[in-house]
Amino acid sequence: MCGIFACHHHPDVQKFKPTALRMAKAVRHRGPDWNSGAQPLVNDDASLALAVNGEIYNHRILRKNLKTKYNFKTHSDCEVVIPLYMEHGLDAPKHLDGMFSWVLWDKKQDRVVAARDPIGITSFYLGRSSTTPGAVYFASELKSLHPVCDNIIAFPPGHVYDSKSDTLTRYFEPTWWDPTNVPSTPVDYKVLRHSLEKAVRKRLMAEVPYGVLLSGGLDSSLVASIAQRETLRMQEATRKASKAELAASSELVGIDDENELSTVTTFQQLHSFSIGLPGAPDTAAALDVAKFLGTKHHAFTFTVEDGLNALSDVIYHLETYDVTTIRASTPMYLLSRKIKAMGVKMVLSGEGSDEIFGGYLYFHAAPNREEFHKETVRRVKNLHLADCLRANKSTSAWGLEARVPFLDKEFLETAMGVDPAEKMINKERIEKYIIRKAFDTSDEPDVEPYLPEKILWRQKEQFSDGVGYSWIDGLKDAAELHVTDEMMKNPKPEWGTDIPDTKEAYWYRTMFDEHFPPYCAGTVERWTPTWSKQTDPSGRAIATHNAKYDHVE
């Protein structure tokens, strides 16, 4: 991972250069590996230069299928963007399978092209300044833009920017994008299972020590289970390979049925990581999963005081004042520091499943399949402002990279194409029933179980709840000390209509304001459930929490 800062058409480049270097340093925490090394990537005559953040999982196939031979200068998976642009122009991002943000400068045309991955897994912003009209700025994080820009937007996922027309165009056009086009395809559990397995397999393309974030909930447990199976499979393949074969190749390459190449160069024991307050419900579940799978598990604890002390730093790195995001990000931020200190540089995480399958407990109140589907589409489209932002920035704060298999482009096409009636929650079906059922092998005697039954069918805990209920209670108590009733009656005029409705929300907004000017608030979205009068986004605030289901009793 790395951080990007770029500017096009600044009126005084030499004068701006010291400021540009300072703005680039503001995102150095994201990954210092390449800030003075191979990036920007350039072609032979240096007419094309590329700054890129992310991972391209199909880069080997793309290299193989280029129409014109290209002289690659690095082994970077991202360098393939340059020849793709040479062949496809603005359509280049359509061919990429991965998570990415990039800015490419075409010197011959004095043209800048920028793009962000379909869902917005990597963070990316676009800015302008009233003092430099005509200039356009790009950065991985707000903190690189707000000192020089007074107009900033989140670069929309699945879009490409072209300086020639100064426009953003959506290149990502999946079948599920239009929420009124409600799918009617019955669920195929085997297809769903194999699709997620393939998504995890791609993301094990790694030349660095990796692990899995294991909360003990369904989503992270499934990812951990698949990753462990794949790691063990590759270890077995390595053992069977002869010494001569290994000597002839510096890396072992696997080719799947779709002829997509994936590379794993480190066949280590899989490490898993969890964090919680002492006695947290997720910690116990994570230990059960780790023991069942055979991962080398690291269960960390934190105190409410640890979390409170980190809040200002968390908000600085997360660049949001959304209550849900901050609650969930703080433990993840603390955990990421511990993981990076162990030498692990990449982790798999379970974000996206709740949005795809309607896993949040408020989905119990969905009135019909059409509204259920509409809400899942809305949630997936907004992930870049919520869970993707949390996963990317909580980890990148420490130079750690998070990969999210549930948001794989192909898996999304499969899962979002299922008739939403199959996803709806009722007395017979717990939330996320179809993904649970896809990995239930109780009627497949020849297949080893993926997870213990009590984990596979465990009711969801919101992550901020699962780390320990007293975490949220502690935040609310602290907010009471920092925000008075009088302050609640007199919100800041610059907040406009975006008025915090709780003392906790008010407190976070004031901390956000300490780091960022008011115009940065336009990039923030506050998480609220649909079909509910609930004011607290915590899962345990919903009446269906701890409800009983006939089929699991």
Alpha-carbon gap, residue 124 to 5, rounded angstroms: 10
CA distance to 237, 300, 475, 514, 516, per residue, from 507 (Å): 54, 27, 10, 11, 14
Which of 468, 471, 459, 502 lies closest to 219 in space, CA to CA?
A: 459
Pure H helices in 294-322: 304-318
Q: Residue 283 carries which side chain, given as an amino acid letter?
A: T
349 is in an annotated binding site: yes
Catalytic residues: 2
- In three-state form (DSSP H/G/I as H, E/B as E, the rest C), the secondary structure along 158-211 is CEEEECCCCEEEECCCCCCCCCCCCCCECCCHHHHHHHHHHHHHHCCCECCCEE
CB 1 within 8 A of CB 399: yes
56 marked as binding residue: no
Angle in degrees, CA 254, 258, 263, rounded to 5: 25
- 213 labelled binding-site residue: yes
Sort 549 into a burial class: Cβ within 10 Å, 0-12 / 13-18 / 19+: middle
Taking the CB of residue 32, how many other CB atoms lie within 10 A of it?
15
* E strand or H helix at 62: helix 59-64
Please state whether the peptide bond connecting residue 529 to the residue before it is cis, i.e. omega within 30 degrees of 0.
no
Q: How far apart are CA 253 and CA 263, in angstroms?
A: 5
**Can you tell me the distance from the alpha carbon of 279 to that of 287, in angstroms, rounded to the nearest whole number?**
12
Distance, CA of 247 to CA of 309 (rounded, Å): 51
HSE-up of residue 109 (Cα within 13 Å, Cβ side): 14
Residue 354 assigned as binding residue: no
Say whether 275 counts as a known binding-site residue. yes
Which residues are annotated as part of the binding site? 77, 213, 275, 349-350
Which residues are annotated as part of the binding site for L-glutamine? 77
Which residues are annotated as part of the binding site for ATP? 213, 275, 349-350
